[in-house]
Amino acid sequence: MFDNAFARGLLRSVMVIVALSTSASAQIKPPIAPNPIEVDHYVHLPAFTVSNQNSTIHLFSLEAYRCEFLYLNDQLRRIDLKGRPVSTDGWTHNIAEAEWPFLSFAYLGYAAANLAVYDPVMIDMYRGEMRWLIDALQTPRMSGFVTPHFGEPFGPDMHVAVFVHGHFLNLALRYREIFGDKQYDPLIHQIAAALVKSYSGTNGPVLPSYRDMWWLTDNFPAMSALARYDRIFGRDTSAARTLFLTALKRYYLDKSTGLSDTYINAQSHVPLQGSRGISVMYGLHFLKDFDPSFANVQYQLATHCFVKTLFGVAAVREFPEGVEPAQDIDSGPLVFGFGPSASGFAIAAAAVNGDTNTAWNLLEATALIGLPELRNEGLHYDAMPTVGQTVILFGKSELLKSEIPPHQRP
């Protein structure tokens, strides 16, 4: 998920990590929480700050997260939504050009949903951004990359594409849950019904990411969305989840790690690639929503298998120890087997699954090697592509929940 800019930044930064790790500073209406977090009161790892010519802010504060949100908003709005769809084979051609913008839109929306609850001072901005993101994802420019594989993903003749519809439904439902706005309800019902039909039909119980390509954890956002759908609308789509989970646990757990396989042949029930850091951590963003006990087991196995230290800071392996590492477009550049994509996705995985210590240890590493820069009102990380920063901002927004006592959470 991280491009060559990250590779250059990471390799430069490896040379200074040890020195930086000893430094004191990196220098670099809706259901609102009953006691909203005040900007001045939410600061973590206070030694890490970032400055411009006018001000200095704490890197892990609501003020910084707002600045990140503004920067990411600006980056995404530079995409021409009237442009042509990106063509991809789903394997090696144009993966970054097709999937990364789509994921950036989805994850910025997930972050906005959390921030709308825990940072209500800016709620109008988050509400407007979520509407814009939901509308944008329906354009051919953003989701049309799946059309050659399945057919049009939106419109009266909608064809199910689990990668697109899982994230879209998740985002639309989070918006519905937070703001109570019913404008997307017909589309929500249409997609939920289509997913249930597909999971229960000949294409199920594991749906392909692309034609004849089954990336297993691409199904997790859809499963999560259906569970959320049931909670919001009082429906029961549990049969589809039972079919999927039964197949997953029967056929697609890596025998050496016990974790979800990455790539499979769902027609012959054959795993083709075992567990990997990026796919496992990505799936753990959603697994807790539809099977909490299984998520707890998977998360414990994942941290044991993948979360280690590199040069004294927390990092996540892309492959289990003993497996020959082979970097690709998803892993990003590997350094001694550790992957920036897996490490970035692991922040949200840890936060979602209640492991705040691991999440903060990994975030400290982003402060050390991410090269944060404050320009005007926007905060960005020079060593991360946009998609990486949106995923990590979602993880930060999940950590906000730990600041509210459980009995006071919405």
Residues 101-156: tens digit of each pLDDT: 999 999 999 999 999 998 988 999 999 999 999 999 999 999 999 999 999 999 98
Closest by CA to 67, choosing from 54, 80, 79, 83, is 54
Q: What is the pLDDT of residue 18?
A: 30
- Fold of the 4-403 domain: Glycosyltransferase (1.50.10)
Q: Two tokens at 65?
A: 């997260």
In angstroms, the Cα distances linking 122 to 60, 70, 109 are 18, 11, 14
- The model's pLDDT over 324-358, given as tens digits with 9 standing for 90+, comes to 888 777 777 777 888 889 999 999 999 999 999 99
- φ/ψ (deg, to 5) at 48: -90, 120
Q: 387-409 as b/e, with b when 16 or more CB fall inside 10 Å?
A: bbbbbbbbbbbbbbbebbeeeee
Q: What is the pLDDT of residue 247?
A: 98
pLDDT exceeds cutoff 70 at 365 = yes
Beta strands in 158-222 (DSSP E): 214-215
Average pLDDT over residues 369-395: 94
Q: How far, in Å, CA of 295 to CA of 303, rounded? A: 12
CA 340 and chain centroid, separation? 14
| Domain-wise residue ranges, the chain | 4-403
Q: How far, in Å, CA of 54 to CA of 202, rounded? A: 60
In angstroms, the Cα distances linking 357 to 342, 350, 354, 376 are 17, 8, 9, 32
Q: What single DSSP character describes residue 206?
A: S
Which residues touch 165 (CB under 8 Å, ≥6 apart)?
A: 153, 191, 194, 195, 222
- The model's pLDDT over 156-215, given as tens digits with 9 standing for 90+, comes to 899 999 999 999 999 999 999 999 999 999 999 999 999 999 999 999 999 999 999 999
Characterise 109 by phi-psi region: left (phi > 0), alpha (psi -120 to 50), beta (else): alpha
Instruction: Point out the least confidently predicted range of 34-38, 85-89, 126-130.
Output: 34-38
Q: Which amino acid type is present at position 366?
A: T
Q: How far, in Å, CA of 78 to CA of 95, rounded? A: 19
Q: Which amino acid type is present at position 390?
A: T
pLDDT exceeds cutoff 80 at 12 = no
Mean pLDDT (the chain, rounded)? 89
Q: How far, in Å, CA of 129 to CA of 401, rounded? A: 21
Q: What is the pLDDT of residue 300?
A: 98
Which residues touch 20 (CB under 8 Å, ≥6 apart)?
A: 13, 26, 368
Contact 338, 315 (CB under 8 A): yes
Q: How far, in Å, CA of 372 to CA of 388, rounded? A: 13
Q: Two tokens at 292?
A: 């909490």
Place of tokens 């491009």: 3
Q: What is the pLDDT of residue 405?
A: 59
Q: What is the pLDDT of residue 329?
A: 76
- The model's pLDDT over 294-321, given as tens digits with 9 standing for 90+, comes to 999 999 999 999 999 888 889 999 999 9
Q: How far, in Å, CA of 389 to CA of 316, rounded? A: 17
Q: Given pLDDT bands bounded at 50, 70 and 90, which one contains residue 35? A: low
Average pLDDT over residues 70-89: 97
More confident residue, 22 or 381: 381
Q: How far apart are the first and last CA of the chain?
A: 32
Contact 122, 66 (CB under 8 A): yes
Q: Two tokens at 202?
A: 């000949």
Average pLDDT over residues 230-259: 98
Predicted TM-score (pTM) of the model is 0.90
pLDDT exceeds cutoff 60 at 22 = no
Express as a percent the part of the chain with pLDDT over 70. 89
